[in-house]
Amino acid sequence: MPKEQRAVFLSQDEIPTSWYNIQADLPEPLPPPLNPGTLEPMSPEPLFRIFAKELVAQEVSRERWIKIPEEVMEAYRWVPRPTPLMRAYKLEQFLKTPAKIYYKWEGVNPAGSHKPNTALAQAYYNKKQGVERLVTETGAGQWGSALAMSSAYWGLKCRVYMVAASFRQKPGRKIMMETWGAECFSSPSNNTKFGRGLLQKDPNDPGSLGIAISEAIEDTLSDDKTRYSLGSVLNHVLMHQTVIGQEVKKQLEILDVRPDMLVGNIGGGSNFGGFCLPFMGDKLQKKNEIEFVACESKAVPHTTKGKYTYDFGDTAGTTPLLKMLTLGREYKNPPIHAGGLRYHAMSPIISYLIANGHMRSIAFGQKEVFEAGVMFARTEGIIPAPESAHEIKFVIDEAKRCKESGKAKTIVFNNSGHALLDLAAYEAYLSGKLEDWEPTVIAYPSFVK
């Protein structure tokens, strides 16, 4: 065994004190959100009825650093942060690769993924403003769990619309949310007009993230003391997640290691954004030459086959239009286990960076992804979330390429969560029942802007 460290821990005094806002360092401002009625740039005010005001302000801010309130710092210590940076020795040895592989491990909190980094912050700003209830949607259940836990922390009510397909696949997630005091409904549901309409057409509608978002927004608008909360995609969500990348920077400095490549998975773009944007900011200022690689599912090829255009964030078409890499808001919920990677579009920030060549993306099928996840579990111990297994697939391939070429690259990836509530997916893989799936036709949105 090499004598280098297996894990690098930071002390709780070293939690970053500000969030990093990449909007300050982009070569040009992001394309603005558009009003779907007029197709004109939208002012932020109408969003105050949907989101906490402070979060809307953060969404459009171009200040480079936004100070984390002391109350949120306390919540980060509670969850707890910082998280360790790990060295994947056993995986390296198994692959006989000269590559050095490190990963940030975000699965160590009670919700099991990176999502509490923004859930705790969002719930705080809502609480501070006097909001009494949060409503949201969840795909695989990780976001709903994180918001339920964070609502319990701040003493808020919480209601979660969970995509029906996952609701059936993962009963454990609902139990977690209810244990933390939240309500969890299968979506489409009978709670909303939109949901009732869909159920009338098909009582077994598998749902989708877009549908669940439409339901959550409709529910939010029915009550004055309620606000909506989104777990990914938006600028402020990626910004809250930058505590991840800022910690990684410090941890790599302690090791005196400079990464050649940063890798992660992209569902809506929040964990990879939080992990890589602090380094991307430096790259845009020519301070490093790191290669950035975003991994997605072949079943939802939002950035490898998506179109960079304006689209709605939800299926009903109620949100402002955002310029994103998108497969169209009516993209059908594909039968894959990585629930967190099933969103039809990609965050405006990550979309901009990919569309302008600052990072690249690559898609994998679920069989090869789970093969990589199992290899990781057998060498590293951690059973990675199906989402995280996507970047692990890429990292293993890259490590093999390093072996062939003799190049000892330093690869760092963000291990976004564990799979202990997704074991049915591993069971399907281990018993040979997993199938690959790819779309044949994609109905791209037709906005011309």
Ligand X SMILES: *Cc1c(COP(=O)(O)O)cnc(C)c1O
Interacting residues toward ligand X by CB under 6 A: 113, 115, 142-143, 232, 265-271, 340, 385, 387-388, 416-417
Q: How far is CA 74 from CA 16, 23, 50, 130, in A?
A: 12, 26, 26, 20
Given the complex with ligand X, which of 214 and 270 has the nearer CB atom? 270
219-242: string of b/e by CB count within 10 Å (b at 16+)? bbeeeeebbbbbbbbbbbbbbbbb
Q: CB 295 → ligand X: shortest distance, Å?
A: 10
Given the complex with ligand X, which of 214 and 416 has the nearer CB atom? 416
Q: CB 340 → ligand X: shortest distance, Å?
A: 3
Given the complex with ligand X, which of 76 and 194 has the nearer CB atom? 76
Q: CB 266 → ligand X: shortest distance, Å?
A: 5
Sign of CA dihedral 384, 184, 344, 36: negative
Q: CB 190 → ligand X: shortest distance, Å?
A: 26
Please choose, from the candidates 83, 52, 74, the residue with its C-alpha nearest in 3D space to the C-alpha of residue 275.
83
Please choose, from the candidates 60, 67, 55, 54, the residue with its C-alpha nearest in 3D space to the C-alpha of residue 24.
60
Please spell the DSSP secondary structure of 324-335, one letter per residue. EEES-TT----S
Please choose, from the candidates 383, 384, 346, the residue with its C-alpha nearest in 3D space to the C-alpha of residue 363.
346
Q: CB 222 → ligand X: shortest distance, Å?
A: 26
Q: CB 294 → ligand X: shortest distance, Å?
A: 9
Q: Which residue has the tokens 């564990």?
A: 418
Q: CB 430 → ligand X: shortest distance, Å?
A: 20
Integer Cα distance of 151 and 157 in angstroms: 6
Q: CB 107 → ligand X: shortest distance, Å?
A: 7
Given the complex with ligand X, which of 232 and 251 has the nearer CB atom? 232
CB atoms near residue 128 (< 10 Å): 14
Integer Cα distance of 26 and 19 in angstroms: 16
Are the C-beta atoms of residues 329 and 253 closer than 8 Å to each other? no
Given the complex with ligand X, which of 113 and 235 has the nearer CB atom? 113
The order of strands in the sheet holding 226-228 is: 183-187, 157-163, 133-138, 226-228
Are the C-beta atoms of residues 436 and 133 closer than 8 Å to each other? no
Given the complex with ligand X, which of 99 and 385 has the nearer CB atom? 385
Given the complex with ligand X, which of 320 and 386 has the nearer CB atom? 386
Given the complex with ligand X, which of 191 and 232 has the nearer CB atom? 232
Are the C-beta atoms of residues 291 and 303 closer than 8 Å to each other? no
Given the complex with ligand X, which of 97 and 246 has the nearer CB atom? 246
Q: CB 424 → ligand X: shortest distance, Å?
A: 16
Q: CB 384 → ligand X: shortest distance, Å?
A: 8
Given the complex with ligand X, which of 188 and 384 has the nearer CB atom? 384
Integer Cα distance of 151 and 339 in angstroms: 22
Given the complex with ligand X, which of 105 and 194 has the nearer CB atom? 105
Q: CB 117 → ligand X: shortest distance, Å?
A: 10
- Report the Cα 92 to chain-centroid distance in Å: 27
- Beta bridge partners of residue 325, listed in sequence order: 308
Integer Cα distance of 189 and 160 in angstroms: 11
Q: Which residue has the tokens 């056993």?
A: 90
Integer Cα distance of 431 and 82 in angstroms: 37
